[in-house]
Amino acid sequence: MTIAASDRVSISSFDGAMLRVVLLMDLHEGTEPQFLAAYDQLCDQVASVPGHISDQLCQSIENPSQWLITSEWQSAVPFLSWVNSEEHLEMVKPLSVCARSTRSFRYSVLRETGTVHVAPRRLGRLQTAPRASDGLVRSALTFTVKPGSEQDVADILADYASPQARVDAHTRLHRTSLFMHGNRVVRTIEVQGDLMTALQHVARQPEVRAVEEAINPYLEVERDLDDPESARMFFMRAALPTVHHVMADRPDEVGIRRMAVIHQVEPGQGMGAARALAEADEAEADRPGSLVAASTIFQRDNIVVRLLDVRGELEEPVSGRVMRLVTDRHASAVS
């Protein structure tokens, strides 16, 4: 069976299209000189990062505390390799302390007008066609807990009152899934609408805060949720970005089973492994009779996780190690 173009969804960081990154920042009053000095230093460091093309720094003409940093990259792959590194975390610390809030957006470049596209500095290529969407944004977090505490942590994370699914008129929690393998926890979240709005909504809920406080003693990396910088650094390191998603069709969710697989990857090989898995999943999505309805790949450093929605039992064993499902909650259960 050939999948209709309107039914097949493929969203990938591996399509080679040039990337535009937009960072919105609202600065604390009086920090502008410190911010500018930190930006100049960061520019010098980022200029040597492979795949980086250019930056722009802009200040709002309506609200001088609001700043915009844009950067161009040859493609998403070198940017993701850099932004998810410890090197990046150290680079942006001086900027972060100046900011009251930040928002980051990543876009591939589909069209250009004017003459800029013929400039010699242009090293990337344009996105070939618009991506189809199923209306969901996917994200994940991963962290480790102290060996021996795995069951205690699983019990805490599985037993809490879910927050309301409806965030606002445009944003809704769709589904959350929690997996464990050994002492590693992976939590995936699917949102209709704006991901950051949904995450901020969840973080404000008392039941969620109580769970986060309850697992604090078990974490291998300490955090203080009352300290904004401590919390920010923890969640930046815990972020497990989505690098690929493919859905063969739009199946009825009845009979669909969710599983996660963690892949053992050598240091420095995480992005390459994720790319290879993405190519395999694209081929699987085109295979008639495939039991895999959808696949999402998350990757950071040497951590690669595949979230699979399968129809029944897979005919062949899945490469990698299947993670234990702790809890899987659909929005209909928490509306």
- Tell me the CATH number at 48: 3.30.70.100
What pLDDT score was predicted for residue 252? 62
Instruction: Identify whether residues 70 and 197 lie together within a single domain.
Output: no
pLDDT in tens, 190-217: 999 998 888 888 888 888 889 999 999 9
Look at residues 93, 118, 143 and tell me which one is the last residue of a structural domain. 118
Instruction: Identify whether residues 87 and 232 lie together within a single domain.
Output: no
Q: Which of 24-28, 108-112, 129-133, 247-251 has the highest mean predicted lDDT (pLDDT)?
A: 24-28
Query: Quick one: which of 167, 259, 231 has its CA closest to 205?
Result: 167
Can you list the positions of beta strands (E) in the chain? 9-12, 19-27, 52-59, 66-73, 99-108, 137-144, 172-181, 184-192, 242-247, 256-264, 292-300, 303-311, 321-322, 324-330
Instruction: Identify whether residues 103 and 153 lie together within a single domain.
Output: no
Within a 13 Å sphere around the CA of 42, how many CA atoms are in the beta-carbon half?
Answer: 24
Contact residues for 194 (Cβ-Cβ < 8 A; gap 6+): 137, 170, 171
Give dist(CA 229, CA 97) in Å, integer.
8
Amino acid 210 reads A
Answer whether residue 35 shows pLDDT above 70. Answer: yes
Instruction: Identify whether residues 190 and 224 lie together within a single domain.
Output: yes
The reply to whether 13 falls in a domain is no
Instruction: Identify whether residues 181 and 310 lie together within a single domain.
Output: yes
Residue numbers of the domain that contains 39 = 19-118
Least trusted range by pLDDT, from 239-243, 285-289, 311-315, 318-322: 311-315
Give dist(CA 71, CA 177) in Å, integer.
33
- The residue behind tokens 């189809």 is 132
What pLDDT score was predicted for residue 118? 47
Instruction: Identify whether residues 82 and 165 lie together within a single domain.
Output: no
Number of domains the chain contains? 2
Instruction: Identify whether residues 149 and 113 lie together within a single domain.
Output: no
Look at residues 58, 88, 118 and tell me which one is the last residue of a structural domain. 118
Query: Quick one: which of 100, 103, 88, 90 has its CA closest to 31?
Result: 100
Look at residues 83, 118, 153 and tell me which one is the last residue of a structural domain. 118
What is the Cα 62 distance to its own chain's centre?
31
Answer whether residue 322 shows pLDDT above 90. Answer: yes
Residue 130's pLDDT band, with cuts at 50, 70 and 90, is confident
Sign of CA dihedral 180, 194, 104, 12: positive
Residue 282's pLDDT band, with cuts at 50, 70 and 90, is very high
Backbone angles phi, psi at 202, to 5 degrees: -65, -45
Answer whether residue 244 shows pLDDT above 90. Answer: yes
Give dist(CA 228, CA 236) in Å, integer.
12
